[in-house]
Amino acid sequence: MLECTMFEKKEDAMKKLFVLLLACFMLLGMNTPLDVFASTSKVWSYVDAPEGTIEGTTGTWSGIDIDATANGAKFNKRVDNQDIQINAQTKLIIPVESHQEGAEITLQLSGGEATVSVLENEYKSASQFITIPLSSEQTGQDVTVEFKTTAYLLNLSLSYLEAYPGVPEDIVAKDKDYTFEDNSVSIEQTKGTFDDILVDATNGKFAVQPEYSRVQINSGTILYIPVTSDEQGVSILISGVDNQSQAAEIQINGDNYYTNQKISLDIHETSYIKVQFSQQTYVGLISIDYKSDLGFEVPDVKAIDTGWDFTSNAANTRPEIQGGKDEYEGIQIDASSGKFSPRDGDTQINATTILYIPLAKDDEIAVSVNGNNYNGLKVTWDNQDITIGKEFVIANEETRYVPLKFEGEGSCYLENIRIDYKSDNQSISHTVRVGSSQEADYQTIQSALDHEISDAAHPLIIDIEPGVYEEKLEISQSHVTLRALSSQPEDVVIKSGFYSSNTFINGEFKPQDDYDVGTDKSGTIIVTSGASAFSMYNITVENNYNTEKKTQKDEQTPAVAFCSNADKVYLNNCRLIGRQDTLYVKGNGNRTYFKDCYIEGTVDFIFGDADAYFEACQLHMAYFNGKKNGYFSAPNTKKDGIGLVFYQCSLSADERVEDVSLGRPWQNECYTVTETTADGVTYVVDYDPSTPNPLYADVSSATQFIDCTMSHQIQNERWNKWTRKNKDGETISVTYEETVRFIEYNSHDEQGNLLNTDDFDVVLGKMAYVDDLDSYLSDTLTLMRIGNGLGLWLPNLDTYHPSEPVTPIEPVEPVIPEKPDVSEEPQIPEESWQTNPGDDHDSQLEESFESLKTPHIQLDISSHKVVPNVSLLVTGTDETYKVEKNDNQSDEVVETIGEKDIPLASSSDNSSTASHTIEAKTQNQPIIYIVCVLVGIGTIGLVIFLRKNKKIS
């Protein structure tokens, strides 16, 4: 009994000691949140390996059976290298006990790479480690590791997994970003936490560097990041680089990936994902993205037509985003693994970028995403494929953010996005006037464009008085209309002389003077991509560079008169005058409509990749001294575009033009190899007509002439191929003919006779006859998305006739205005004076107006004593003044009094004193203050009294 009692006391003491030690460990563990970790049951090292070589036989290694019986198999302990050489075909049979959490076998190599096979799965080394996970079902047996390649082994370990990292708690499917700006946590040779991430740096290092907004993660470090399931999917992005600023290799749940790529996770329940680092990596962001969580609330947006401009013309500054998120005019931008980079004419959108577009509820919505998708990215709207530049129609059952995704390789270049709600069909237009008359609001067209606002709800109409306006116009707002106050387009002329010399040095454009701005920017009128729904009536637009300001005698160069970059552009009864490159219709999917227009040029004078419809237009090929040939068209239509369509147009040419061609295919080229001489001349050294040029793989030039009157001067071959010069100066065709779409339907001569296709040797295109021309035209217009209905467009085709054609008193002086800063309100000086109501105030006011001689006068006449709540508003320009009586309390016009009829205040008491202040606002007069006091009869009486009493002389 005594011995037993002593033994029990010793046992109690041991228990107390154990509890005490355990308490100490728990206290220490309070400083390191991780006190539970995977236990390593066994490690087999090089030192324990059997001496010598096992080859063609079997052996053991501290409980591991070695099978080297296969041909070529070998297990060799290398003393000099302090490792073990294990050849392919060698097998290690490792006894693994049953364990409910599973186990992990780890092979550490001394160098090189290796591949092993375990339970029919292959595992490859990553940074000298091979990790083999075993599920709980795979434990409780002998596990065979078969070497598929020769390996040099330092050690082998078997770990039985414990609860670490366990199951995270309170994780919800909400996006989470881990950044490293504020915390200076450093975990090395131990375990710890960062936020809710478990960090196992037992064999590595995790050191936050807040001064660089990053964390240094060394090789051997493991992160356990908590996630939960999401029916729509979960992904992780780890943004970081290695020491060479390259993407670093990582393992996620045992699979190999790289940093800087968004990785989809297969998550069915709340758990930790295991991220292993095999090289030193500098991480700036760890982002968990749940697809069901957009990260922002329901947008506050109404079903009102809207749009976003992604060019430098945008009203607000576009953000530069790479590896992060931001917002632009209500659009939420996720460029965590992509890029959103503003440029002059567009915004570069890299693959993997997502734009979340705020969209209101509506039964039918027309959407267009416009720009250039040269790299062929997959673009989806609400996970449905779309085509850049093609309008599509959707229904939206609830107000929400809709994802616009870009997937693939490379970039897409956005110019604008347009949203057209079916329920929003109301607008209120406002009209201003340009010219030299008294009624004009502006002297120049550009000043009106700069100072007036225009959009779908408030369209701007600019009426232009007859005259010559030497201006270069840029239309950057949507729903702008230019109208001549004349039915004759010759009466209103807008002209400029900008051009492109096409001078390039080492691939960079080199302008020769201030007017040499390049083809894209040379237009006398440029309609930018954001200026959709532009229209113009009864106006002549001319680029006079080649006709009046030539660089050299008998030479011509690209000089655009009208350049359209927008969708839904309409010109009616207009004249476009130029020589080379007169009319440029740009933008795949954009629609332009020309009705009853006259278009004049010489070479490629109607060109571009937009869908352009010409109805009853006259196309005239002018003569240019030194140039005896010309081309009506030069489309670079994209494969999904319809191109240039001419219906019932008339084609003519100056009799001096010898070679008249319907057109040639711009950029529709085959594969070529070129060289450039020292003086900048490029020539072809090799080409393959059967292979498309990869630079223009998406080009399929398309022109149709339907029921048109053809000049007798048009050549027998009808069309021309695109040509270049070879090294010997010979002209060769570089056209990739397979994708060219040139055709004439039902062409006829000047006398109305149908042309016989057998009479022509058509090159590149074809001639055909259509019995049901109306049906064919209707189908073509539908393909062009021209017509009635949502998703289609049809402008008002009525010809505009001003009610009262205007002839200016003085001709408009040609002006090239400096573009004002539209962010500043114009400074308008003020003038005021007084007058006596007993005088002839009409004549006095008229004399005052005449003395001002201002282009724009606005007067506010307030009667302060007699009629305190009524003021008169006088507006006019030099000769005519419109007078309105306004109620100051309601701000409404109560009465229009008329021209030059300006009764001040009336009063039954003529002896009372009334004070009237007239304030005149003018754009070009100095500030003048003229103050008069209106003196009543009582005041005059006072003067007489003083004179009689000799108080005054």
Query: Which residues belong to the active site?
Result: 604
Taking Cα atoms as reference points, which of 472, 666, 697 lies closest to residue 586? Answer: 666
Please give the order of strands across the beta sheet that includes 191-194. Answer: 191-194, 197-200, 222-227, 271-277, 249-252, 255-258
Tokens linked to 53: 């070589």
Tokens linked to 56: 């063609």
* Contact by Cβ (8 Å): 303, 360: yes
Q: What is the DSSP letter of 303?
A: S
Which residues are registered as beta bridge partners of 132? 105
Pick left, alpha or beta for residue 502 (phi over 0 → left; psi -120 to 50 → alpha; otherwise beta).
left
Dihedral of CA atoms 768, 771, 773, 779 in degrees, nearest 10, equals -90
Task: Give me the phi and psi of 114, to 5 degrees please.
Answer: -155, 160
Q: How far is CA 855 from the centre of its chain?
A: 41
Bridge pairing between strands 83-86 and 151-160: antiparallel
Taking Cα atoms as reference points, which of 812, 807, 810, 809 lies closest to residue 487? Answer: 807
HSE-up (13 A, CA, CB side) for residue 349: 32
Taking Cα atoms as reference points, which of 57, 94, 88, 104 lies closest to residue 151? Answer: 88
Length of the chain: 953
Q: Beta-carbon neighbour count of residue 880 at 10 Å?
A: 13
Taking Cα atoms as reference points, which of 343, 315, 345, 342 lies closest to residue 330? Answer: 315
* Contact by Cβ (8 Å): 769, 702: no
Tokens linked to 144: 């065979």
CA distances from 45 to 48, 62, 189, 204, 269 (A): 6, 10, 21, 20, 38
User: H/E element holding 225?
Assistant: strand 222-227
Question: Residue 472 carries which side chain, given as an amino acid letter?
Answer: K
Q: What is the DSSP letter of 338?
A: E
860: Cβ contacts below 8 Å, ≥ 6 apart: 871, 872, 873, 874, 918, 919
654: Cβ contacts below 8 Å, ≥ 6 apart: 620, 621, 622, 623
Q: Beta-carbon neighbour count of residue 393 at 10 Å?
A: 14
Q: Beta-carbon neighbour count of residue 868 at 10 Å?
A: 11
CA distances from 755 to 713, 716, 891 (A): 13, 12, 68
E-assigned strand segments in 741-812: 741-745, 766-768
Three-state DSSP at 545 gives helix
Q: What share of the chain is helix, strand, coil (3-state, %, to 5)?
A: 10, 40, 50
